[in-house]
Amino acid sequence: MSDYNQTRKILLLSANPRDTNPLRLGEEMREIKEGLKRSKNRDQYFIATAEAIRYRDIHRAILEYEPQIIHFSGHGTGEEGLVFEDESGQIKLVDGEALAGLFQLFADQVECVVLNACFSQYQAGEIARYINYVVGMSQRIGDKAAIEFAVGFYDALGADKGYEFAYKLGCSLIRVAGIAENLTPKLVTKSDTASLNSAAEATTIYVERPPIEAKCYEAILQNGALIRIRSPQRMGKTLLLEKILNHGRQQGYRTAKLDLKLADSEILADAKTFLQWLCVDVADSLELEPQLDKYWQDVFGLNKNCTRYFQKYLLAASDNPLVLAIDNFERLFAYPDIFPSFCLLLRGWYEAAKQGDKIGNLWKKLRLVVVHSTESYPTLDTNHSPFNVGLPIELSEFNLQQVELLAQQYELTDKLETQALSELMKLVGGHPDLIQQAVAYLQNPQATIEELLQLAPTEQGIFSDHLRQQLWHLQHNSLLELGYKQVVTANAPVRLDTEIAFKLHSLGLVKLSGNDCVPSYELYRQYFAVRLG
C-alpha cells in the first residue's frame, strides 16, 4: 500500500430495499469512517458514501468519485444476485455476470471490491475476473460479524497494510468478538479465477438425453413450429435451448432469444411496455432498427400491434425462418395483466401458420421455443393456451449410463467406480447440475469421493452454494418453508397444498408421488432437516 502516494478513494455503497430485512448499514459506515480517522495514514484516504442506492446509481457513483476501493453493504441471494431497488421501488436482483461486466469497464481504476452481503461469494468470483482483490460472503452473515469484518479490514488499510492482510485481520476480528462466522468472508483474487473458470466450464458441458435432442432438431425444421421445454430449475433447459438455436443457425435460420429473467419490473408492470420491449429486443437481436414509430399505431390493440410488427417487419425482412426463443417464461405467471393476453398472442401466431394464404406463409417462417419451470401456470382457456399445442419436452435427470459416460469423458472411472457412483447417485440422484459439480470437484487429484460424500450436506461441502440458494428461496416464503419442513422431517410422502407443491417442484426440491411430495434427493433431506428443524 505504501507504494501509492496519492489519496486513496473509498466508495461506500449501501442498499436496504423496502420489504427486505433491515440491516445496521449506518453503523457499519460510521465504524469504517471512524477507524480510518484514527489511523496514522488518515490523510491518505478520502471516503465517499452513497446510501439507499438503486442499481442505476452504481455506475454513476463510480464515475463521480473515481474510487480505488468499493465497499457494498446490503443483501445478497446467491447466484441470483445482489439486491437493489429499481426506479419504481421494486426489488431488482443484479447477478454476478452483470456486475462483472460493469466492473470490467473500471478495471484500470478499481483495485478492490468488498461485498459485505450474504451469499455474495458468487458475485465476488465473477468480479474477480477483472478486479485484483474481491471479498464476498460464502453464506449468511450477521450484522455484528459484518461490522467486525469491516472494522478490521479498514483498520489494516489505515495502517498501510495490503489487501490480503486486511482481509485476514477482518476475519480475525470476527473470531476475537466471539462470533462463529470468521470463515464466512472469502477473498477471491484475479489469479484465482483461472481455476474457478475451468471448474465452471466443466459444469456447463451438455450431456445428451436421447431422443430429446433429435425430436427438437426435427421439430424446429417444421413450418410454424412450437416447442415447449419444461423441467425444474437447473436441469439443463437453457443448455438444450442453446443447442436448438445452434441447430437452427446451421440451417441458415435467424435466431432471437428473449430471457424474461432480464426484464425489469417496470417492463412487466405494463402490457404495452412489455410488448414494445419484446419487439425492440427481437429487432436488436436480428441487428435491425426498432422502427416502432413506423409499425406501431395506437389505433390498433396491443396484440394486434405486436402481430403487425412481426408480420410487416421482422418476418418480412428475410426469406429465412426466424426462431424466437423465450426463456424463463414462468416469470410471467405472476403478472395477470400480461400472462393471459400474451399466451393468446403466441397461440394466435401458432394458428396463423396453418393458414394457406399469403399471411399464413409469412407466419410459417416463425418457430417458437418456450422454456419454463414446472411451476403450475394460471388457468387459461384451452383455445387460448400455447401450453397444449406443439411439441412438449420434459427434461429428465441423468440416468446411470449418462453419468458413467460423463465419468469416462473426464477420466474419472477410478474415482467413480461402481460403488462410489452408486453412493453419489443415492445422494443427488441424476441431478445434472449437482452431478456436474461433483465431476468438476473430482478432477482435482487431491479430491476424494469419500470426502465429497461426507461433507456434501454441510456448509463445507461442494454443494453449499446451491443449498444456500435453495434455503434463501424457502426463507423468503414462509408457506414454502413450512411445507418443506413437513416434507423433509416426515418418514412418508406428504400431502401439501397444490400451489405449494408445484412451487417446491419448480425449485426442484420435491418429487411428486401422485398428489404427495417427497424430497427430491437425500442431500436435501439431510441438509434441510437440520436447517429447518
User: Of 143, 148, 125, which Cα lies nearest the Cα of 135?
Assistant: 125
Cell numbers 393476453 label which residue? 341
In this structure, what is the dihedral angle of CA atoms 359, 225, 259, 429, given to the nearest 10 degrees? Answer: 170
pLDDT per residue of the chain (533 residues) written in tens, 0 to 9: 544 446 889 999 988 887 666 667 678 888 888 888 887 787 888 888 888 788 889 999 999 999 999 999 988 888 888 988 887 778 888 888 889 999 999 999 999 999 999 889 889 988 998 999 999 998 888 889 989 999 999 999 988 899 999 999 999 999 999 998 898 899 988 876 655 454 444 445 678 999 999 999 999 999 999 999 999 888 999 999 999 999 999 999 999 999 998 888 889 989 999 999 999 999 999 999 999 999 999 899 999 999 999 999 999 999 999 999 999 999 999 899 999 999 999 999 999 999 999 999 999 999 999 999 876 778 888 888 999 999 999 998 999 999 998 898 888 999 999 999 999 999 999 999 999 989 988 988 888 999 999 999 988 888 988 898 899 889 889 999 999 999 999 999 999 999 899 999 989 999 998 889 999 999 999 999 999 97
Residue partners of 262: CB distance under 8 A and separation at least 6: none
Q: What is the pTM of this model?
A: 0.65
**Residue 54: DSSP 8-state:** B
Residue 410 backbone phi and psi in degrees, to 5: -100, 15
